[in-house]
Structure 1
């Protein structure tokens, strides 16, 4: 093989990630660190204000409730608005909100109501930004590099929100309770500045005179519900999120009462998730190629089930750290496979709305899981929460195995075709 041929092949296989994607990647990574800081600090603040597991997990419920309440409206707005400007202003608003929360802590007037209110608004902003970012990525990234681009973003999110952020948040919380929230405000400000430098502007959809808001929202819902594969994956994602949300919501209680860890130990426990995330980001595309998308999804469900089971039966900090790494490895691999499927199977003009409906279904498990975990932990202890999660993931693994035997993903990918003409769009929206 000649040197020229080798160089040409290397050029074809090397990801061609644009400067705009790199700015988005950096903006997302910086805000992810801030998210991790708050993810560690908010439950710790709740434990300072109450010792009731139900009131502690209410902070997680407040953060995840907007995923259900505003999922579809967010998708509609994403299809209509300038994504760059939307994400920039949302991050500026979140920076201001966290500054108010930090000031309230310093002033001594920040209680559970302010914490719940702040987490609710932060979750609302997260719904819009995540939806917008997933629609923006395929617009600034070549189709053949989508798996790599999504894997990098997810790895950065997990490394920031799951490793660097929790460690920094737990350390700063020990120094001064308000510091973690002040730092998160700064990260959102930096993220907004980076987003303002993105040159690409995705044209906002022009509203039609005959289509109302409700009918436009229903277009994405009808399209997704008619798509058997994506509908099934959305329902399975709901079960995964329900089990994972319950686990993470009671982890701060489990850390203190069962594992006997300090606040910094809790932050270090959260940071173990980043190990699995980084491994998954590097090997998820390869795993999908080796096992096929069906096999990769089955493997992720098994990993998550094992992680929940280990937490339930092994009250040892090191075992809990390994379990969280396995959990993160499974969830990141799942997201890499499923997000690319949505980006390639859903028509571009419906991507925002279809994504929002998918998220409404899959993320609907987040607040339900957090609330259920709090009540179950109060009644039967935290190990019971993890045991129930392991059982739920066993059901998911069996469902995925049955789908894999029918090659349900491969058959759909063979039939997919681009929807580009006006006639095609009219058929998709009917």
Structure 2
């Protein structure tokens, strides 16, 4: 039996507990609704305008809170009951989507309402995603972190990129407002599931007399003093910039270059999700086989290949294959780096350091969406993909240099030696 098969069999036997099952189901349900919105929001924007820049602005509005509220979200996660906060965020997002649904049905759902609702949904995403990653180590066994994170990412990608977009594209044709109503209902179901989780992270109080600013900056100080985490955050930012530039103009590329309709665009997103689900299934075993350094190099190569195919081959079949490859790379990257954060960051700083990392990494999302829209409007969508391929090739070379110096292995060894006996 091969090492890969042995590792896979071990992950199948691993039991992660009932609390994790509830978190997993909440992610599954809400991701299904999110997928419908992901497909429907650019379609709605494209009905309201033909300007690629204005269509991409919906993605900018959704991702801008990642930059604006990333650090405060980490402090909130370290100082409040995470479970209760996640419930309240989900209920609030359901109300936001109800407003957008009513606006579309009432005829006053234009671009300003879409941008505003996407901004609020992005704010909720910052709070909820950061809290969920902090919660996972407290409700699952230590040796199950890689599998637990992979399973959550897998179901999120299945919902947001496969089943949800197909559903969203189909029901958008039936009623424009329906995908957003479905997403709102999914958040209510998610809130009910999370409220039933028994364990949560203990609430920790800050040092007496410490200011809010100093507490927020504590996570930033730790992260930027840690060479590995600092480097991975910056590389993640570059990957997100290149990837989101591609995704922001994908709806334009599918319509104007590939001549696909709404359903065809949903199929492209489904191809991306299929690759993500496959990667989530095998990423823990692949990381074990190649080592963390090798797995990260492989992800950069996969993303480079995907961007190159999109730039060079204007075919719907090639685009579907490229998006599958792209998703395999991004999900494998996420599985590796999330576990590294959960194991290397001190627990009392996990929320804040995690949020600062995500602030740096997700900072590339709105920039990428804006740059993608500008380049597509000026030169064309295929130029966006070509530029992304060049950027990712440089990233792959940099990661290969780091792998040869065993940067992750040395960081894990240093953290192990720092633990008290």
Q: Return the TM-score normalized by structure 1.
A: 0.94
SS state of the match for residue 205, structure 1? Answer: coil
Give the structure 2 partner of residue 263 of structure 1. 262
Instruction: Find the counterpart in structure 2 of residue 119 from structure 1.
Output: 118
Aligned residue for 2:365?
366
What SS does structure 2 have at the residue aligned with 1:417? Answer: helix
Correspondence for 2:187: 188
Q: 1:366 to 1:408 in 2, by over 3 A?
A: same
Q: Are 2:176 and 1:165 aligned?
A: no
Which piece of structure 1 moves more, 197-206 or 77-86? Answer: 197-206
> CA offsets, 1:295-322, max 9 Å, x none?
0000000000100111111110011000
In the alignment, does 2:320 pair up with 1:321?
Answer: yes
Q: CA deviation at 1:177?
A: 0.2
Q: For residues 83-133 of structure 1, give each alpha carbon's deviation from its aligned partner in whole angstroms, at most 9, with x where no partner exists.
A: 110000000000011011011101100100000000000000000000000
Structure 1 CA distance, aligned partners of 2:30 and 2:330?
Answer: 20
CA RMSD for the aligned pairs? 1.5
Equivalent residues in 2 for 1:220-239, closer than 5 Å: 220-239=219-238
Q: CA deviation at 1:417?
A: 3.2
CA contact (8 A) 2:23 2:194 kept: yes
Question: Which segment drifts farther, 350-359 or 11-20?
Answer: 11-20
**Cα displacement (A) at 1:208:** 2.8
Q: CA shift at 1:194, angstroms? A: 0.4
Which stretch shows the higher mean deviation, 268-277 or 299-308?
A: 268-277
Structure 1 CA distance for aligned equivalents of residues 185 and 389 of structure 2: 38
Q: Distance in 1 between matches of 2:32 and 2:351?
A: 26
Unaligned 5+ runs, structure 2: 1-8
Q: Secondary structure at the match of 2:157?
A: helix
The residue matched to 1:290 in structure 2 has which SS? helix
| Secondary structure at 1:72 match in 2 | helix
Preserved contact between residue 347 and residue 419 of structure 1 (Cα < 8 Å): no
Partner in structure 2 of residue 272 of structure 1: 271
Q: CA deviation at 1:358?
A: 0.4
Distance (whole Å) between structure 2 residues aligned to residue 274 and residue 259 of structure 1: 19
Name which of structure 1's ranges 285-294 and 74-83 shifts more when overlaid on structure 2: 285-294
Distance 1:397 1:12 in 2: 29
**Residue equivalent to 2:24:** 25
Match of 2:152 in 1: 153
Q: How does 1:77-116 map to 2 (within 5 A)?
A: 77-116=76-115
* Alignment match, 2:248: 249
SS of corresponding position for 1:85:
helix
Aligned equivalents of 2:183 and 2:65: distance in 1? 20
Cα offset, 1:176, TM superposition: 0.6
Equivalent residues in 2 for 1:189-204, closer than 5 Å:
189-204=188-203
After superposition, residues 278-317 of structure 1 pair within 5 angstroms as 278-317=277-316
Q: TM-score, normalised by structure 2?
A: 0.96
Q: Deviations over 1:211-249 (max 9, x none)?
A: 111001111101000100010000000000000110000
